[in-house]
Amino acid sequence: MPAVYAVEFTKGFRIGYRKPELWPPASTVLRSLASVAAMVGDKPLLDSILRGDVAASAMLPLARCGNYVKPLVPVRLGAVAGALRRAGGRGRKVEYYFTLSAAAELARAFDSAAGLRGRQLVETIAASLAGSVEDVYAGEDVAVVCGKQEAGSLKGAVVVKPQPASEHRNAIDRMTGSAVPFVVTYARAGRMLLLLDSPPDLEESLKRTLKLLGELGIGGLRSRGLGRFSSELVALAPDDAQALSRVRPFSRAPSGRYVVVLGELPIFSNAVEWDSSFFDASVVAGFAGPPYAQTTFGPLVVAVLGAVVKVRSGATPRADRLDVGSELAPSTFVFNPLVVAGE
């Protein structure tokens, strides 16, 4: 069962080549942990990450419910979200976030509608969800879809999520001494939740490495105070602890079933029936390596956090690894996200 870490950012983070990401991607988390493990000489942890023995979620938004926090999954399914809005009488601007229990019900609903298309698919999924979940209004523009047993605890909950932010800065032209204004864009964030799954003998090592990563920072513009965070293990509410048993690495996803992905999957993955899956895509591109040996990489198309994908029948899912950078300064992406299964 994955461990759950509360991650508290000092200011926020900047991840993304052109437009800042609102959720630090699972692939970025694994890549950063591998870099720190290599830096401190923790070869067992480094090898485990590169082999795909360690899986991660993206850093997730959360709902504060009394003494507990609940991880939330931003699911972006236009037609299904539209059906939920109509059923709940919500406005078009309302964003939907699913609890882990509701994400499992969503995967089960897609399993029950397998083979259907178009409007019939949407109506079947919406009808299936209507019997197992509720949506709770948690702000002007946010609704939380949860299991019926969770609805009471979510009344009055506060959803904590990153927000886009920008700052105006000045650089000094050293030739003329004049100021050159520019804008820094980033995601302003406080507390988020991170799920990590690792072999039992590496849990303490992973905990230390995550703490060191927080001191060094994740993403770009770390010299400007971005990317730094503190982390601690947290206990979830009893209903979330039960739902956590359905969260597993993609490499252990059930064959022939739908799963809700808590990270990113590259479109080149052969373990997914992409024509039967539902997802938003993003392009990953940028620079790898230190300043003296930087190389560009990409573009790489990935399905992002909140995708609902069908694992190909008979396929053996595995972690996908992509080496970028150069021989002098190698860098590796490992795509091994955690997923929520309906069974």
Q: With contact defined as beta carbons under 8 Å apart, do 132 and 146 qualify?
A: no
Give residue 49's pLDDT: 93
- Report pLDDT for 190: 87
What average pLDDT does the segment 98-109 reach? 89
Residue 273 in domain: no
Confidence of residue 44 (pLDDT cuts 50, 70, 90): very high
- Looking at the chain, the whole-number percentage of residues with pLDDT higher than 90 is 31
Residue 303 in any domain: the answer is no
**118 belongs to a structural domain:** yes
Indicate the pLDDT class of residue 36, thresholds 50, 70 and 90: very high
pLDDT in tens, 240-295: 878 888 899 999 999 999 999 999 999 888 899 998 888 888 887 666 665 555 66
Question: What was the pLDDT predicted at 225?
Answer: 83
Model confidence pLDDT, tens digit, residues 194-248: 999 999 999 999 999 999 999 999 988 888 888 899 999 998 887 787 888 889 9
Report the domain count for the chain. 1
Residue 151 pLDDT: 77
**Tell me, what DSSP letter sits at residue 122?**
H
Provide, for the chain, the percentages of residues in helix, strand and coil under a 3-state DSSP scheme, each rounded to the nearest 5. 30, 35, 35
55 lies in some domain? yes
By mean pLDDT, which of 82-96, 122-136, 294-308, 313-327 is the weakest? 82-96
CA distance 86 to 304: 25
Tell me, yes or no, whether 138 lies in a domain.
yes
> Would 291 be classed as within a structural domain?
no
Of 147-151, 217-221, 264-268, 338-342, the one with minimum mean pLDDT is 147-151
In a domain, 153, yes or no: yes
Q: What is the mean pLDDT of residues 74-97?
A: 68
Residue 266 lies in a domain: no
This prediction has a pTM of: 0.88
**217, 218, 223, 224: CA torsion to nearest 10:** -110
**DSSP state string for 48-67:** HHHHT--EEPPPBPEEEETT
Domain that holds residue 114: 3-162+184-253
Query: Alpha-carbon distance 242 to 245, whole Å?
Result: 6
